[in-house]
Amino acid sequence: MDSIIKVDNIGVSYQMTKDDENLKTYLRNFFKKKDKKVFWALRNVSFEIKKGEILGVVGANGSGKSTLLKVLGKIFEPDEGQITIDGTPSALLSLGTGFRRELSGYENILLNGVMLGFAKEVVAQNIQNIIDFSELGDFIHEPVKNYSSGMSARLGFSIAAFLHKEIMLIDEVLGVGDRSFKRKSQAKMKELIQDKSRTVIIVSHNLDSILEYATKVLWINKSKFMMLDKPEKVLEKYIKSQS
């Protein structure tokens, strides 16, 4: 079976100033090349995923896991290497951060649907499911600026759960909200992940979830590729490296 995602030696870099203590310093040094240094968030990372596979991504904080998802989600381009994706990814990254705060929850559902590339008919077919799942009730017609962070996260999860593509990118959102909603969201996520027609990449520090869901695991350490293999093999070595 051909790969649905192929990542070939990608690298993602950021330019930093030697003295980056405050904004004034950064602006003063911005055009001085001698004061710049390059930080590689990812370097020489390669892997392939076939349709229906579930890839778990592990690594310590700052290893480049979330950067990898953002590149796969086409939030930005890699500086090196090449990515080939046969399909359109949908990303569960920072839930609710893309909302327009002055618009209502209902209006944000419509806006997000359009931004994700769904036809109006598809959004219309799913909008009541999204509202019901979010449990926001009449608050769905209130401006998002009046929502608590938990309410925003619930709406964001509900949108992503019902408006998704054939490739899903998941970043630490296997459960959101209070205990009751968390159980419901975890059950919904399990349903989405275990659909064999869907290809999934999960970034998580919850190794039990990675072991339960993933068909293989990628380990990244300090921006570099370490290992790609069956979950049990990778997690054993990863856990040992943390001790």
Of the pLDDT bands very low, low, confident and very high (cuts 50, 70, 90), residue 97 is low
In this structure, of 54-68, 102-116, 165-179, 198-212, the range with the lowest mean pLDDT score is 165-179
- pTM attached to this predicted model: 0.77
Task: Provide the mean pLDDT of the chain.
Answer: 85
Interval 178-203: pLDDT, tens: 778 888 888 888 888 878 888 989 88
Complete domains list, the chain, with CATH: 1-88+167-174+199-243 (3.40.50.300)
Interval 19-72: pLDDT, tens: 445 556 656 665 555 556 788 999 999 999 999 999 999 999 889 998 998 899
Interval 220-241: pLDDT, tens: 999 999 999 999 999 999 999 9
Query: By percentage, how much of the chain surpasses pLDDT 70?
Result: 85
More confident: 65 or 172: 65
Q: Is the pLDDT of residue 110 over 80?
A: yes
3-state SS track over the chain: CCEEEEEEEEEEEEEEECCCCCHHHHHHHCCCHHHEEEEEEEEEEEEEEECCCEEEEECCCCCCHHHHHHHHCCCCCCCEEEEEECCCEEEECCCCCCCCCCCEHHHHHHHHHHHCCCCHHHHHHHHHHHHHHHCCHHHHHCEHHHCCHHHHHHHHHHHHHHCCCCEEEEECCCCCCCHHHHHHHHHHHHHHHCCCCCEEEEECCCHHHHHHHCCEEEEEECCEEEEEECHHHHHHHHHHHHC
